[in-house]
Every structure is written in C-alpha cells, then in structure tokens.
Amino acid sequence: MGGLSLRRQRHGAHLPLLLLLVAAAAAAGKGNKGEHARAAGATGLRFRRESGTFKVVQVADMHYADGRTTDCEDVLPSQVPGCSDLNTTAFLYRVFRAEDPDLVIFTGDNIYGADSTDAAKSMDAAIAPAIDMGLPWAAVIGNHDQEGTLSREGVMRHLVGMKNSLSGLNPEGVEIDGYGNYNLEVSGVEGTSLGEKSVLNLYFLDSGDYSTVPSIPGYGWIKASQQVWFQQTSSSLQKKYMNENPKQKEPAPGLVFFHIPLPEFSSFTAANFTGVKQEGISSASINSGFFASMVEAGDVRAAFIGHDHINDFCGKLSGIQLCYAGGFGYHAYGKAGWSRRARVVSVQLEKTDNGGWQGVKSIKTWKRLDDPHLSTIDSEVLWNRGSNGKKETMGRRKKNPDGS
C-alpha cells in the first residue's frame, strides 16, 4: 500500500552503477528455455507435454528504484548494511531457478517511481532477471509505477515493448479506463485434442492508483468500462471453448491478476484463509462491483493481487480464491524478520486413459520465501475440477488421476 512508503526520503542517484547493472544483465541475456514448447497461438504459452503442467511465479511489489544505491526497508538492523535493490534482483534469480516457471507475472509497484532517477531504466533493471533467463513474462501496474519520469500510459507502453514481454496496453478499438487491460490464452499440450484451444485463461487489469473523484478518498478501482471488456472477453472465450470442436462441458478456468485488493478481501478471518493478515485491506473506499463481475462470468477460479505487502493469504468467497502474493521487494515496506516472498501457481491437466492430456484438473499454489533454504510454505489446492458444484461424469474418468 502507499501511505507507509510516502514518508521515505529520496535517495541519491548513482546512474553509472545502474547502467553497469543493466548492461551486465543485457550482455548475459539469451534465451535458454529450449525445452519449453511454446509454439502455439499468439502468445506461444502452452502446457508442458511431460508433466501436463503450466506454472506461474507471481512477483508483487518489487518497488525497484536505482539498484545498488537504493536501500532496503524494514529489514533487521544487522541486515541493513549491503542491502539494496540488488537483493530483490538476487531473489528473482533464486526463485526462477528453483521453480523454472512457464510465465512470470509482475502484479504492480514493480518500480517505486518516486525514488527512481529514470523510470524506464528502473523498470529494465527490475525485470532483467526474467529476460536474462529467457522467461516469458507479463505485467500490470500498481499505484507507484508512474510516480517517476513516466506516466501510467508511458510506463505500461514501456513494459509492453520490452523483450519477452507478453504484456498488452489495452484491447484494440475499445474505449477503456486505465493501461494494461489484456488477456493471455494458454493452449493445451501440443498435438493433443486441446492443443489448439485455450485451456487456461489469464486476465490482467489496471486497478488504478488513486481516486480522481473528489468526494471519494483513497485508492482507485476497476471501472465499469474494464468490467464490460472483461465480461465480453470471458464470454467469448467460454463460447469458443464449449461450442467449437472438440466441444467442452465446462469453461476453461480463468485466473485474474491486478494490483489493488477488492473490498471482498476483507471477508476472511484466520478461520477461513491460508497465510497471514498483518495489516488492513487497502482497497478502494467504494466497491465498483468487479468481484460480482468475476462471479457472474463463471470461469474465474482465483484472483491474485499485491499492494498490501505483509498480507499473503488466500481465502475463498463465492467459489473464487482471493489471493495476496506478499511483498517481494527489499525497497518496499515489509516486516523485519518476515521474509520477502513470491507466490507460485501451478496448474495441472487431467490425464486421459491412453496417457494424453485433457483440460485443467487442478490449480495449486504455494509461496517461496527468500530465506537460506528458499522455503516453500502454505501449499494448498485452490481449485479442483469436479469439486465446485460440478459433478464428475461417472464411469468416464479413472479413479486415480495418475492412471494407476
């Protein structure tokens, strides 16, 4: 969230060091993910043949600024010396090596514009590890990305133009609020019956920064124009998936990514979430109805956000998992002694009797901590096909999903 960080002073800019870092990252950068089949569709995103999985690493709130000269917030006194944005960079490399994701999603406040000398350079340095490792990635913006030398439109355009970026500015020919409203399709395993269909849909929205309506204080929200686009996109994807051959009985699952929590994130207590809530829910002060839009759409299984760095829970409301990632960046406020973290989302396809792959069977999640062991915590199943009111067809499916 914003308030806590606003008190911070601007730090001296050391541009040569930053340039050196960016240059080093660029020099080392070449695609090395040949084992991932990514030939389908416009995005090339698809499930892996061997495992039938598609894995996302969500990175929330890096708050990247000028690199080595930008200090760390809220670390233990003993950790202050030698701690900078470069620790955020090191954590990105560690978590990508450990998880080998198919897609990296940055959910806003990727840079902390107010402390950045050059917003484009800060963004390049922030995202560099994903590019260096040849990983496809997508981003949305939060409420701090535009506080430097680029506007919200400028910062989103920059993200769209970067190497390996699957980010989109906005849908073509549609009047829409914000920057960075787009969707990505993930195809089934190449050569299977669902190899040319989107079996998993990812939606990205700009949740704004601050209210521009004088009578409404606080943070921004997802506007009606964005909800109309989302509903139409969801509806047409569902029609295609269920009506075109090979016809499917239920929609492909949808996952939604944005920055600022919806008011519905306040619906939970420790009794019904997994993870922790260590600060208030910094949603907009009004409810613009996006949660209802997601429930009505019918395909959304989970929404993933950031913004509140020391909340990292998932809770389920009306069939939709609402998930925080927890703060990733060292220049972002946090809690000393409480590790920076990333959320991992792993989607698994259903195996057919003859060993091929069908549509999505389950969606799992866990978090990776930036501690010495890169600990995995709070592993849970977010959604299981057939367990959300839809009954499995008797006799068609094997008892054991692994085919045993």
Ligand X SMILES: *[C@@H]1O[C@H](CO)[C@@H](O)[C@H](O)[C@H]1NC(C)=O
Question: Which residue in 82, 173, 337, 355 binds ligand X (CB under 6 A)?
Answer: 82
Nearer to ligand X, 85 or 185 (CB): 85
Task: Select from 218-226, 262-270, 306-314, 394-402 the region that touches ligand X (CB under 6 A).
Answer: 262-270
Q: Does 78 bind ligand X (CB under 6 A)?
A: no
Q: Does 357 bind ligand X (CB under 6 A)?
A: no
Asked if 255 and 304 touch (Cβ cutoff 8 Å), the reply is: yes
Residue-level length of the chain: 404
Nearer to ligand X, 93 or 210 (CB): 93
Scanning 273-380, the segments in alpha helix (DSSP H) are 290-297
Return d(Cα 178, Cα 279) in angstroms, integer: 27
Tokens read off for 119: 């917003």
Q: Does 169 bind ligand X (CB under 6 A)?
A: no
- Count of positions on this chain that bind ligand X (CB under 6 A): 12
Interface of this chain with ligand X, residues 276 to 335, rule: CB under 6 A: 317
Q: Does 379 bind ligand X (CB under 6 A)?
A: no
Task: Select from 74-82, 145-153, 165-173, 245-253 the region that touches ligand X (CB under 6 A).
Answer: 74-82
CB of 220 to ligand X, least distance (A): 24
CB of 394 to ligand X, least distance (A): 30
Q: What is the CA radius of gyration of the chain?
A: 20
Q: Does 389 bind ligand X (CB under 6 A)?
A: no
CB of 82 to ligand X, least distance (A): 5
- DSSP helix/strand/coil, 355: coil
Q: Does 268 bind ligand X (CB under 6 A)?
A: yes
String of b and e for 330-345 (b: at least 16 CB within 10 Å)? Answer: bbbbbeeebbbbbbbb
CB of 86 to ligand X, least distance (A): 6
Return d(Cα 178, Cα 210) in angstroms, integer: 12
* Distance, CA of 196 to chain centre: 24
CB of 387 to ligand X, least distance (A): 17
Question: Which residue in 5, 43, 58, 87 binds ligand X (CB under 6 A)?
Answer: 87
Return d(Cα 225, Cα 235) in angstroms, integer: 16
Report the amino acid identity of residue 24.
Answer: A
CB of 171 to ligand X, least distance (A): 32
Asked if 226 and 177 touch (Cβ cutoff 8 Å), the reply is: yes
CB of 267 to ligand X, least distance (A): 4
Nearer to ligand X, 151 or 318 (CB): 318
Question: Which residue in 272, 285, 376, 379 binds ligand X (CB under 6 A)?
Answer: 272
Asked if 48 and 316 touch (Cβ cutoff 8 Å), the reply is: no
Asked if 369 and 375 touch (Cβ cutoff 8 Å), the reply is: yes
Return d(Cα 397, Cα 401) in angstroms, integer: 8
Contacts of residue 33, defined as CB under 8 A and 6 or more positions apart, other chains included, come to 133, 134, 135
Asked if 60 and 305 touch (Cβ cutoff 8 Å), the reply is: yes
CB of 330 to ligand X, least distance (A): 7
Q: Does 267 bind ligand X (CB under 6 A)?
A: yes
* Footprint on this chain of ligand X (rule: CB under 6 A): 75, 79, 82-83, 87, 90, 267-269, 271-272, 317
